[in-house]
Amino acid sequence: MNPGGVRASLNFAPTSGEGDGVVTYEEAFNVQPFSNVLTMMSLTGAQIEALLEQQAIASRSRPVLILGVSEGFTFSYNPNGPFGDRIDPASIKLNSVVLDPAGSYRIVTSNFLADGGDGFTVFRDGTDRGPAPVEDDLAALLDYLAANSPVSPPPDRIAGG
């Protein structure tokens, strides 16, 4: 998920009497109102590290742009490190296994990011591009919520930042 793409918070407490952790369509739409097309591609572990380093490219409006990541994907980010050395490669893990820099990993992202949006140009180097199993980001969010309702608040997945 691109850093500016989340437009509202999901509240655990009900806003319309639906019950704790139950999310309405309106609440989901307020979070992701764009219906960005999802793109599946392959990136190497080294490209994923470079992509994570691109989070530190400062802009006037945002000093850092942290990507939203999937469950099971973790990394450590040092906001005080020099650019290009803010991510410890040994900390980049998928399901507790360190990514192999030469390994190939399938990812899904929005067409906005896939085209290098928000300065994340590494996405442009992805190979084997194709449509994702779910067409757009709002539909994917709704499918996830339907399969996991009620939803508990997630833990913070970014260590050190």
pLDDT of residue 158: 42
What whole-number distance in Å separates Cα of residue 137 and Cα of residue 148?
Answer: 16
DSSP strands (E only) in 65-126: 73-76, 93-94, 97-98, 104-110
Q: Where are the domains of the chain?
A: 25-159
**Residues ≥6 apart with Cβ < 8 Å to 153:** 12
Pick the CATH number of 25-159 from 3.40.50.2300, 3.90.780.10, 3.40.50.2020, 1.10.10.10: 3.90.780.10
pLDDT of residue 159: 43
pLDDT tens for the chain, 161 residues: list them.
776 777 787 777 777 778 877 888 888 899 888 888 999 999 999 999 999 999 877 555 666 778 888 889 999 988 888 888 999 999 999 999 999 999 999 999 999 999 998 889 999 999 999 999 888 889 988 998 889 888 777 665 444 43
pLDDT of residue 1: 73
pLDDT of residue 161: 39
- The residue assigned the tokens 């999937």 is 70
pLDDT of residue 59: 56
